[in-house]
C-alpha cells in the first residue's frame, strides 16, 4: 500500500460500500449462475479441484464477475492481482508479471484479473499472451461486451469463455435479504424494515444487477425515516434512492444489435405488441431515434413492400416528423409507423425481385441495351437503329415487346405476393 492509498483507506469496514462488503467469499455464498456453478458443473468442479483455467467472464454489470474471480483466487490460495483496463497500461501489466514471476519462484501462484478487458487495445492484450501460455499467471478477464469482437483471437484461444446471466428477481431478493440480515458486513446492526412494496420496486428496478440493488438499499437505509427506533424503507424512499430502472442497453454494444434485431423480427412477424415493446426499450436506452426511423424505412420496403405501399409513405413521414419535432415527442411518430408496419400485410417480393436481378447482373454477360430501347437524340444514332420499332406503351401497349437483353429474354424476377395489394397483381397476372 502506498502512502496515498493509506491516506484514503477506510478507517473501518463500515466505510466500504455495502455492495463491496457483501461480496461472496465462497462458492456457497455466491448467488446465481447455477448453469456454471451448480453442483456437478464443470467450472465448479475445476474450482473445487484447484484446476480453474484462464478464462474470460462475459456478463452484464452486477452478475458476479469480480466476485467469482476473487473466489477462484481465494480457493486456490493464489495472490489476487486486479487491474482495470480503464486505467492500466502495458507498464502495469509488466509490473504485475514481474511480481507474479517472483511469487512463482517462491511457490505461490497469481491470478491476474483484468476488469473490462474489452478496453485494452490489441497491443495491451498481446502483452498478456506469453504469461498466460507459460502459466506465469492464471488470467481472468471480465467484460460486458461480446468477446468475439472485443478480445483478440490469440487470447481467446488461450482462455475459456464463460457467459454469466443477469440475476433473476428471486436471486436479487436473496442478496438484498442477506444484506439486511447480516450484522457483520451488512445492515443487520441497525433496526431496518423494508416493506413489501419497496422490496418489489427495488428488485424490479435493479434489473438483475445485484450491485445496483445493494447501492440503492444502502442509500435508502441511510435516508429512511425512523419510526419507534426502526428505519422504515417504503416505496417512495426506494424510488427516490433508485431513481430509475438500471437499463442494460448500450448503443454501441450487443444490446443495440440484439434489440434492433428483435424489433425488426417482431414487425416482420406482424406482432404489434412485441414491436412497440422493443421500440420502447430502445427509446428508454437512449437509442438514436433517427437510427430507428431508418430501420422503419427499410422495413417498409423489405418486409411490407408492395403488399401495402403506404407503409413506405408512413415510414418516411415518421423519419421527417422525428427530425422536425425531435424527442421526446418524436416517439409518437415512431410508434405510429411501428404499429402501422406491424399491422400491415407483408411481402418480401421487392427484395426477392431485386436480388434475383442483381444475381443475373453479377453472374451473366452484361449484354448491350437492345436497340429499340436506346435513346436516339441524333440523326446518326437513328440511322444505326437506335429506338427503331419501339412501342410507346401509352399508344401501343405491347406486352410481347422485349425489354431485357437477348441473353435474358423471358427471365422472371418479380413474383407477386399473396397478401394485401399484391393479391390483385397476382390475380391479374394469372388471368393473363
Cell numbers at residue 322, please? Answer: 422525428
Residue 96 pLDDT exceeds 50: yes
Strands 160-163 and 55-58 turn out to be parallel
pTM of the model: 0.67
What pLDDT score was predicted for residue 4? 38
Q: How many residues does the chain have?
A: 432
CA 133 to CA 154: how far, in whole Å?
10
- In angstroms, what CA-CA distances link 111 with 77, 244, 403? 10, 36, 71
- Asked if the model's pLDDT at residue 64 lies above 50, the reply is yes
The yes or no reply on domain 254-343 and CATH 3.40.50.720 is no
Of the chain, the percentage scoring pLDDT greater than 90 comes to 46
Spatial strand order of the sheet with 192-194 comes to 192-194, 230-233, 226-227
For the chain, give the mean pLDDT: 86
Who wins on pLDDT, 254 or 118?
A: 118
Q: For Cα atoms 94, 98, 102, give the angle at the middle one, nearest 5 degrees.
A: 165
Categorize the per-residue pLDDT at 9 as very low, low, confident or very high, splitting at 50, 70 and 90. Answer: very low
Q: Confidence band (pLDDT; 50, 70, 90) for 6?
A: very low
Task: Count the neighbouring beta carbons within 10 Å of the beta carbon of residue 327.
Answer: 13
394 or 216, which is more confident: 216
Give residue 13's pLDDT.
55
Q: How much is the pLDDT for 79?
A: 93
State pLDDT tens for residues 140-177: 999 988 888 888 999 998 999 999 999 999 999 999 99
- pLDDT, residue 245, reads 59
pLDDT of residue 395 exceeding 80: no
pLDDT higher than threshold 90 for residue 246: no
pLDDT, residue 2, reads 43
Q: How confident is the model at residue 244 (pLDDT cuts 50, 70, 90)?
A: low
Predicted local confidence at residue 250, as pLDDT: 62
Coil/strand/helix, residue 79:
strand
Q: Cα(275)–Cα(283) distance, rounded to whole angstroms?
A: 13
Q: Can you tell me the distance from the alpha carbon of 432 to that of 425, in angstroms, rounded to the nearest whole number?
A: 11
Asked if pLDDT for residue 15 goes beyond 70, the answer is yes
CB under 8 Å to 224, separation ≥6 — which residues?
Answer: 192, 231, 232, 233, 234, 237
Contact present, 302 and 350 (Cβ < 8 Å): yes
Question: Phi and psi for 409 in degrees, rounded to 5?
Answer: -60, 130
Predicted local distance difference test score (pLDDT) of residue 249? 61
In this predicted structure, which of 171-185, 197-211, 330-344, 404-418 has the lowest mean pLDDT? 404-418
Half-sphere exposure of 321 (CA within 13 A, CB side): 19
Q: Is the pLDDT of residue 332 over 90?
A: yes
Burial 264-284 (b: 16+ CB within 10 A, else e): bebbbebebebbbebbebbbe
Give the H or E element holding residue 140.
Answer: strand 138-143
CB proximity list for 65: less than 8 A, separation 6 or greater: 57, 59, 115, 142, 164
DSSP assignment of 14-74: GGS-HHHHT---STTT--S-HHHHSTT-HHHHHHHTT-PPPEEEE--TTSSHHHHHHHHHH
Domain boundaries, the chain: 33-163, 169-242, 254-343
pLDDT tens digits, residue range 169-228?
Answer: 999 999 999 999 999 999 988 888 999 999 999 998 888 899 999 999 999 888 888 877
Per-residue exposure over 387-401, b if at least 16 CB sit within 10 Å of its own CB, e if not: eeebeeeeeeeeeee
What angle, 0 to 180 degrees and rounded to 10, lies between the N-to-C axes of helices 289-299 and 310-325? 170
Predicted pLDDT of residue 56: 94
What is the per-residue pLDDT for 364? 81
The CATH label, of 1.10.1530.10, 1.10.10.1800, 1.25.40.390, 1.10.8.60, for the domain at 169-242 is 1.10.8.60
Taking domain 33-163, whether its CATH number is 3.40.50.2300 is answered by no
| 269 has pLDDT over 80 | yes
Amino acid at each position: 500500500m502506498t502512502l496515498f492509498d493509506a491516506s484514503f483507506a477506510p478507517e473501518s469496514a463500515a466505510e466500504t460500500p455495502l455492495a463491496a462488503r457483501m461480496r461472496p467469499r465462497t462458492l456457497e455464498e455466491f448467488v446465481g449462475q447455477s448453469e456454471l456453478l451448480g453442483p456437478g458443473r464443470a467450472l465448479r468442479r475445476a474450482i473445487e479441484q484447484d484446476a480453474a483455467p484462464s478464462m474470460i467472464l462475459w456478463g452484464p454489470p452486477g452478475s458476479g464477475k469480480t466476485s467469482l474471480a476473487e473466489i477462484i483466487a481465494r480457493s486456490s490460495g493464489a495472490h489476487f492481482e486486479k487491474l482495470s483496463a480503464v486505467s492500466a497500461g502495458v507498464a502495469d501489466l509488466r509490473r504485475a508479471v514481474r511480481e507474479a514471476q517472483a511469487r512463482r519462484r517462491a511457490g505461490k501462484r497469481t491470478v491476474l484479473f483484468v476488469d473490462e478487458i474489452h478496453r485494452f487495445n490489441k497491443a495491451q492484450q498481446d502483452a498478456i499472451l506469453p504469461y498466460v501460455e507459460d502459466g506465469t499467471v492464471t488470467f481472468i478477464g471480465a467484460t460486458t461486451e461480446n468477446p468475439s469482437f472485443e478480445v483478440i483471437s490469440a487470447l481467446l484461444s488461450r482462455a475459456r469463455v464463460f457467459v454469466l446471466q443477469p440475476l433473476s428477481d428471486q436471486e436479487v431478493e436473496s442478496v438484498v435479504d442477506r444484506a439486511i440480515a447480516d450484522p457483520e458486513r451488512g445492515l443487520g446492526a441497525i433496526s431496518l424494515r423494508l416493506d413489501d412494496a419497496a422490496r418489489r420496486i427495488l428488485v424490479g428496478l435493479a434489473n438483475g444487477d445485484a450491485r445496483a440493488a445493494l447501492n440503492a438499499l444502502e442509500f435508502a437505509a441511510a435516508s429512511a425515516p425512523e419510526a419507534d427506533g426502526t428505519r422504515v424503507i417504503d416505496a417512495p424512499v426506494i424510488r427516490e434512492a433508485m431513481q430509475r430502472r438500471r437499463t442494460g442497453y448500450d448503443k454501441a454494444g450487443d444490446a443495440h444489435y440484439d434489440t434492433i434485431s428483435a424489433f425488426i423480427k417482431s414487425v416482420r412477424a406482424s406482432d404489434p405488441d412485441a414491436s412497440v415493446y422493443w421500440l420502447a426499450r430502445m427509446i428508454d436506452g437512449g437509442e438514436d431515434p433517427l437510427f430507428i426511423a431508418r430501420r422503419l424505412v427499410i422495413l417498409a420496403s423489405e418486409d411490407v413492400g408492395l403488399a401495402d405501399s403506404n407503409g413506405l409513405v408512413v415510414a418516411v413521414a415518421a423519419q421527417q416528423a422525428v427530425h422536425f419535432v425531435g424527442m421526446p415527442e418524436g416517439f409518437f411518430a415512431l410508434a405510429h409507423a411501428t404499429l402501422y408496419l406491424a399491422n400491415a400485410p407483408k411481402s418480401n417480393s421487392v427484395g426477392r425481385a431485386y436480388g434475383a436481378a442483381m444475381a443475373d447482373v453479377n453472374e451473366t454477360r452484361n449484354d448491350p441495351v437492345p436497340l429499340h430501347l436506346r435513346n436516339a437524340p441524333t440523326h446518326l444514332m437513328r440511322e444505326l437503329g437506335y429506338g427503331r420499332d419501339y412501342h410507346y406503351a401509352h399508344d401501343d401497349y405491347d406486352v410481347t415487346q422485349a425489354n431485357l437483353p437477348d441473353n435474358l429474354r423471358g427471365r422472371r424476377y418479380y413474383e407477386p405476393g399473396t397478401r394485401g395489394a399484391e393479391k390483385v397483381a397476382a390475380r391479374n397476372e394469372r388471368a393473363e
